[in-house]
Structure formats: C-alpha cells, structure tokens
Amino acid sequence: MIRLEGVGKRYGRGDFVLHDVDLSVEPGRVVGILGTNGSGKSTLLRIMAGVSHATTGTVTGSPRIGYLPDRFPAGQRMGARAYLRHMGRIRGLTDLSAIDPLLERLALVGGPTAPLRTLSKGNAQKVGLAQAVLVRPDLLILDEPWSGLDVATHAILGELVDETRARGASVVFTDHRPQVVHDHADVVHLMAAGRLTGETTETTAPATRIVLRGHGTDWADEPGVRHAVVEGAQVVLTVDVDSVDAVLLRALKDGWSVREVAPCSR
C-alpha cells in the first residue's frame, strides 16, 4: 500500500522535525499514530498524503488518498455541497450523487448550502471528513479526526473507519489520547520528538458503560469518556474506570437521569 523508509523532514535550515521514520501500511489495516502535540504526527501524515516532501528517505506506493488535515481550511465563501462537488471534480469523480447523503449522515448544521466560513470548528471538520471519504480512497489519512466533533459524529466517524477497512482499504489516523487510538486501531505506533519510538497492540484498559437520559451536555470531550453514542433518547458512554465517579457527578449536576452503570470489556 505505502511504505516509508528512513524518512526525515526539516524546513529550510532548521532542525529536523522527523527523524529516520520507517513505516509500512498494509491493505485493510487501521494504523493509529499516538503522540503528544508537537511530536511530529502532522508532519508525518502530510508526507504520507503527498502534500509535503521528505527531506531524506523514500516513500513508495501510490494509493488513491483521502486526506483530512489537522486544520481544515474552511474560510471559503462557497457552501459545503459546492465545495465537495469542486473537490470531487478535481479528483476525477463523475458521479457526485453521494455528496448529499454523506452530509446528511454527518448531520451538518446549517445544511449543504451554508458558506464554509460560517461553520463552527466541528461542522467544518465534518466537511473536511466528507471530502476525504468522498473519493473512496485506498488510503484514508486522518489527522486528529475526532477533534471538535459532537457526540453523534464521533460514532459515525468510527463507522466510516470500519467501512473503509471492510472494503480492503487502509486508514492511518493520529490522536494524542491513548484510549481513542487503541479503541480504533489494529496497530498503534508511538511517536515522540519526531521519531516512531515503538509499536504496541496492547488491549485497552477496563471500562464502564454508563447510560444516561437527558440533554444539554456534550460528552465527547469530557475527561475519561472514551466513546459517547446517541441511542434514541439516551446517550451511552464508555468511561475509564477511574473517571466513573466524576462523570456520574457531572451527569447528576447537569440534570441527567442515570439509567445504567455496568462494566464493559472495551
């Protein structure tokens, strides 16, 4: 699919921000890159996506790529539908009928004609995600894709990743939260100071399932919440064991009704 050997990157005469990176991504695999902000994750993904060139080393393979950058450029006047049609034509698509169903699935607030520059960060992220998956890529590259998304779209993004893998394509994504990466990736690579420092396939730590009924709280970014999925009138949370008390206190404070608390395997 794609292989990086000895890849390094520096800008101008500055210090190298990537050092001797070796990475191979096989078809039908989901690869997670775990590291803190500034560790070099975004630079690595830009090289894989072909929007930046390696200073040293080689990149081999030419899969059809869909790419969501860490900062989606959403300052345009055009609406989401027009933007996706434009990007689809650039990528050689002749059938653009998937655009509206995709935007509807992602629940874009403001609708498909809302100018991109008026969208919130989360809704701009939805449009960026749509343009990445629209081309049905062989390699889907996602930089911090869960950042800024609402609870419902967190689950939809997970579905899109699973669907991409199921048709034999590959996914590479980054995140700085260990549980998010381990929950979605087949293989996890650790990154620090511009280097891939190791690979792990460790299973996730025990978690607790909490079912709530109510409204008004965005659980997606709540500390300790791994997943938040809307199921009808309820929200189902997967929570780190050590965070259960804090999440329940927050739920009761915000007026939610607690319907279930039980251990789960993931």
- 85-141 residue pLDDT tens: 999 999 999 999 999 999 999 999 888 998 999 988 889 999 999 999 999 999 999
Amino acid at 118: T
**CATH of region 207-264:** 3.30.70
Q: Which is nearest to 82 in space by CA: 121, 116, 119? A: 116
CATH no., domain 2-200:
3.40.50.300
How many Cβ atoms sit within 10 Å of the Cβ of residue 162? 12
DSSP three-state, residue 166? helix
Task: Give the pLDDT confidence score for residue 266 in this predicted structure.
Answer: 44
Please give the average per-residue pLDDT across 178-196, as a whole number. 89
Domain boundaries, the chain: 2-200, 207-264
Name the H helices within 106-255.
121-134, 151-166, 178-184, 244-253
pLDDT tens column, 26-48: 999 999 999 988 999 999 999 99
pLDDT at residue 201 tops 60: no
- Whether residue 203 is predicted with pLDDT greater than 60 in this model: the reply is no
E strand or H helix at 49: helix 41-49
Q: How confident is the model at residue 251 (pLDDT cuts 50, 70, 90)?
A: very high
pLDDT score, position 71:
81
User: CA-to-CA distance for 149 and 203, rounded, in angstroms?
Assistant: 25
Residue 265 has pLDDT above 60, yes or no: no
Higher pLDDT, 227 or 145: 145
For residue 200, the model assigns a pLDDT of: 66
pTM for the structure as a whole: 0.78
Which range (132-141, 185-194, 216-225, 249-258) has the least confidence? 216-225
- Tens-digit pLDDT profile for residues 68-85: 998 877 677 899 999 999
